[in-house]
Amino acid sequence: MAQITGKAIIRVNGTELRSLDEATLNPGGVNREAVKGGGKVYGYKEETVEPKLEFEVAHTRDTSIIDLGKITDATVIFETDTGDRYVLREAWTAEPPALKTTGGSVSMVMSAISCERM
């Protein structure tokens, strides 16, 4: 029986983050939007979409949300528990990290120049 992905390990510049199990990786590519007029659909236009990684990090005394927010030009490895691996190149923190005290976690959103399957 095939194993289904249930968690991931996230490394930034070789350092493993204390990432929690739920994470979302969008490898980027294109969004396509219909072009319409006169009651007809003529085709579509494309918009480039950057790779995006959303996840949470367990917050401890030594977790600096300031440092997490300063990440730029990083190599990020996203490895699932099924062995699937992706590399995000020239990645950066896209939004300021947010600390949630009720769950003891920091929300992270990262983007990158590219995302490739390893």
Which CATH number is 55's domain given?
2.40.30
Confidence of residue 20 (pLDDT cuts 50, 70, 90): very high
Whether 107 is in a domain gets the answer yes
Whether 74 is in a domain gets the answer yes
Of residues 103 and 66, the one with the higher pLDDT is 66
Whether 1 is in a domain gets the answer no
Q: How many domains are there within the chain?
A: 1
Residue 86 domain boundaries: 8-117
Q: What is the pLDDT of residue 77?
A: 98
Give the SS3 label for residue 107: strand
Q: What is the pLDDT of residue 73?
A: 98
The pLDDT of 12-41, averaged and rounded, is 96
Q: What is the mean pLDDT of the chain?
A: 96
The pLDDT of 75-100, averaged and rounded, is 96
- Cα–Cα distance for residue pair 65/11, rounded to 1 Å: 16
Whether 46 is in a domain gets the answer yes
Percent of the chain with pLDDT over 70: 100
Contact by Cβ (8 Å): 115, 51 = yes
List, for residues 28-64, the tens digit of each pLDDT value: 999 999 999 999 999 999 999 999 999 999 999 999 9
Q: What is the pLDDT of residue 40?
A: 97
Q: What is the pLDDT of residue 38?
A: 95
Other beta carbons within 10 Å of 10: 22
The pLDDT of 71-93, averaged and rounded, is 97
Contact by Cβ (8 Å): 113, 89 = yes
